[in-house]
Amino acid sequence: MSGTEREKRSTKAVRAALAALDGAAAGRPLALALSEALRAEEGLGPQERRAAATAARGAVRELRRIDLVLAQASKAAGLDLRRTPGHDRTLLRYLALRVSIEAEAPERPLRELALPGPRRPRSIGDDVLARVAAHLPPADALPLPADPVVALGVRRSVPDFLARRLVEDLGPARADAVLAALNLPARLDLRANRLLATREEAAARLADEGVAAAPLLLAPDGLVVADRAGLFGRTHAAGLFELQDEGSQLIALLCGLRPGETAIDLCAGSGGKALALAAAVGGQGRVVACDPMAHRLAELPARARRARAQRIIEMGGAGPSAELVGRADVVLVDAPCSGVGSLRREPDLRWRLTEKDLDAYPVRQSSILEEASRFVRPEGGRLVYATCSPLRSEGEQVVAAFLKKHPEYRLDPAEHFLPESAVEDGFLRSWPDRHGGGAFFAARLSRSR
């Protein structure tokens, strides 16, 4: 089934997409704005919800190119964008998405947007929309700046500072390939819950509900599905799987936990990795889930009950208690980071990041890693540091600085625990252009004394 067959661009769906884009333009996280917009439109079906989400994410993802083609078309059409209200600019951006990015003939989106249509009141009439649409060029035909870094930023619709950092780390060709892959829609990965089922058993149960799930290539418990249609039925309610990116699954695998061991997930968030760690340590093990923003753990107790891990996972609040100092077999630090590696899932992050953020994150990451090391037991305890960022300043450089300061730790080569195709220089490195998910980094450090 094609993407268009799975989507339905009704008036309500378009209205929800426009409302989400208004929220994002006002500086709100797109996921939150989209969730609220979908709730506000009563009676939306799955295809309509998918159409709204696809359009909102697409417009945010391609915002830089959309604004460039709009500037060109509005000038030719005699429209002053500087005097156009924000909600009308959202309408124009949606039109540019359909015509310049998705290469649709203008007639259909113009018909869908025509008054009374999905947006009222508005200051621009149907005739103005038609004039703008007539002058919208294909985004791929935009002239690129002479500066190769700025050209990359335009072509892949990211800020220049981010394009520059990636070129410095990866070189121009790899930076372009990674950004191109990060601009694709997010893949929907699952992790079979080993506490209750094998990957094959979870896939079979999903098939009984009409959901086709195929094995992922790298993560041994990983599955991939086409979309969310029918996904949250009996198999999910029974706790047989969790939504989790393959790269995130590999981070949990790198921990190398054995049944009965104790792990601390220091930045657990909503608990996806904590649940994976619980499946590894089993009923005799212990996973302490913490997060500096303790409210982020709110969903985890219910998820743990569904996964039958409620007796394994403990809520540690903002940080582990003093009794755990020097006692954990594994401490996992999934550190706060730029999130550049998750742009497929959160495309608006690129517009909320600043260059100052990129400079500040490694300082914060080093501080958290330093604190985490206190809880690792001597003689074989493991400290696993991870980010969802392709930037070396947040990955290899943070680890190198820590090892220089702590001779009691050494790097465990990741190829001893993970498929070699996901390993670079002893670290986990998953890449969107090579592995199909996000960009993840992880290092496993063992303590000798």
With 60 as the cut, is the pLDDT of residue 5 above it?
A: no
Whether residue 199 lies inside any domain: the answer is: no
Q: Quick one: what percent of the chain has pLDDT higher than 70?
A: 98
User: How far apart (Å, rounded) are the C-alpha atoms in residues 437 and 31?
Assistant: 19
Whether residue 171 lies inside any domain: the answer is: yes
Q: Mean pLDDT throughout 44-53? A: 93
Residues 330 and 252 in one domain: yes
pLDDT band (50, 70, 90) for residue 299: very high
Residues 127 and 36 in one domain: yes
Q: Mean pLDDT throughout 82-107? A: 96
Q: Mean pLDDT throughout 34-48? A: 94
Whether residue 89 lies inside any domain: the answer is: yes
Residues 84 and 28 in one domain: yes
User: How far apart (Å, rounded) are the C-alpha atoms in residues 399 and 225?
Assistant: 34
Whether residue 77 lies inside any domain: the answer is: yes
Residues 108 and 169 in one domain: no
With 70 as the cut, is the pLDDT of residue 1 above it?
A: no
Q: Which of 82, 109, 140 is the last residue of a domain?
A: 140
pLDDT band (50, 70, 90) for residue 6: low
pLDDT band (50, 70, 90) for residue 119: confident
Q: What is the CATH number of the domain that holds 103?
A: 1.10.940.10
User: How far apart (Å, rounded) are the C-alpha atoms in residues 97 and 206?
Assistant: 35
Residues 298 and 178 in one domain: no
Q: Residue 282: its pLDDT value, please?
A: 97
**First-to-final CA distance of the chain:** 56
Whether residue 316 lies inside any domain: the answer is: yes
Residues 379 and 317 in one domain: yes
List, in sequence order, every residue forming a beta bridge with 376; answer none if it has no partner. Answer: 328
Whether residue 238 lies inside any domain: the answer is: no
Calculate the average pLDDT of the chain: 96
The more confidently predicted of residues 361 and 6 is 361
Whether residue 195 lies inside any domain: the answer is: no
Residues 172 and 124 in one domain: no
Contact 287, 314 (CB under 8 A): yes
With 50 as the cut, is the pLDDT of residue 23 above it?
A: yes
With 90 as the cut, is the pLDDT of residue 7 above it?
A: no
Q: Which of 117, 140, 163 is the last residue of a domain?
A: 140
With 70 as the cut, is the pLDDT of residue 391 above it?
A: yes
**pLDDT tens readout for residues 211-246:** 999 999 999 999 999 989 899 999 999 999 999 999
**pLDDT tens readout for residues 312-331:** 999 999 999 999 999 999 99
CB 264: neighbour CB atoms within 10 A?
28
Domain count, the chain: 3
Q: Mean pLDDT throughout 259-287? A: 97
Q: Which of 140, 168, 203 is the last residue of a domain?
A: 140
Q: Residue 218: its pLDDT value, please?
A: 97
**Closest C-alpha among 95, 83, 102 to residue 132:** 95
With 90 as the cut, is the pLDDT of residue 355 above it?
A: yes
Residues 110 and 130 in one domain: yes
Range of the domain at 258: 246-447
Whether residue 172 lies inside any domain: the answer is: yes
Q: Quick one: what percent of the chain has pLDDT higher than 90?
A: 96
Q: Residue 229: its pLDDT value, please?
A: 87
pLDDT band (50, 70, 90) for residue 13: very high
Residues 255 and 109 in one domain: no
Contact 51, 9 (CB under 8 A): yes
Residues 92 and 157 in one domain: no
With 80 as the cut, is the pLDDT of residue 2 above it?
A: no
Q: What is the CATH number of the domain that holds 425?
A: 3.40.50.150
With 70 as the cut, is the pLDDT of residue 78 above it?
A: yes
What separation in angstroms does the CA of 310 have from each of 278, 300, 301, 305, 401? 9, 9, 7, 5, 37
Residues 174 and 304 in one domain: no
Specify the 3-state DSSP secondary structure of 286.
strand
pLDDT band (50, 70, 90) for residue 4: very low
Q: Mean pLDDT throughout 260-283? A: 97
With 90 as the cut, is the pLDDT of residue 104 above it?
A: yes
Query: Within 13 Å, how many C-alpha atoms sit on residue 6's CB side?
Result: 11
Residues 326 and 442 in one domain: yes
User: How far apart (Å, rounded) are the C-alpha atoms in residues 67 and 348?
Assistant: 15
Specify the 3-state DSSP secondary structure of 265.
strand
Whether the model clears a pTM of 0.85, i.e. scores above it, the answer is yes
